[in-house]
Amino acid sequence: MPFDALGEASDDALLILFAGGDADAARVLTQRFTPRVFAHALRLLGGDRAEAEDIAQEAMLRLWRVAPHWRQGEARVTTWLYRVVANLCTDRLRKARAVALDDVAEPPDDTPGALSEIEDRQRVVALNAALDSLPDRQRQAVILRHMEGLGNPEIAEVMDISTEAVESLTARGKRALSATLVGRREELGFGDD
């Protein structure tokens, strides 16, 4: 199956195919990156789904435009995309800084019922609120490290800072998050675990 075969192709190879007009490559790239780009935008924006969708679409549009000029092996596509998303989110946040905590998005699952599901929602809301209270760069570093799972060198590349600066930002960010969240463990149902 050709479409499946492309699923194993490298990002760089897919971009070459895309630039050559291969529609299957367009589909694979869309499926590979849109979820990550959207999730990252959603986290950086503190849960504003509509804005996150717009930013995800814009970031991917920039990828389509840059594809014919992409310099192979120079930067990872994910790194480039995370940087574009961060820049777009920063612009949006500057324009409309405050997203009221009441509006912080909850997980999309609309089937409440089980206690654990409600607790999970409360924890995610609490985490989003705590993240939103961090300075922008700390929030970005913590999200890239602990939500997106990037290593410090790649985060440094995304944020255009040294790895030592990344370590400092994540350490300070986590300290602030701990101060806010760890005291609420009982309230949010973590118990003694």
Binding site for other proteins (CB under 8 A): 2, 5-6, 8-9, 13, 16-27, 29-31, 34-35, 38-39, 42, 49, 53, 56-57, 60-61, 64-65, 67-68, 105, 107-109, 120-121, 123-124, 126-128, 146-147, 174-175, 177-178, 181-182, 185, 190, 193
Task: Name the minimum Å distance from CB 94 to other proteins.
Answer: 24
Contact 67, 115 (CB under 8 A): no
Nearer to other proteins, 42 or 166 (CB): 42
In the complex with other proteins, the residue whose CB is nearer, 94 or 115, is 115
In the bound state with other proteins, the residue whose beta carbon lies nearer, of 147 and 160, is 147
Q: Is 20 exposed, middle or buried (0-12, 13-18, 19+ CB in 10 A)?
A: exposed
Q: State which residue, 74 or 160, has the beta carbon closest to other proteins.
A: 74
Least CB distance to other proteins at residue 165 (A): 20
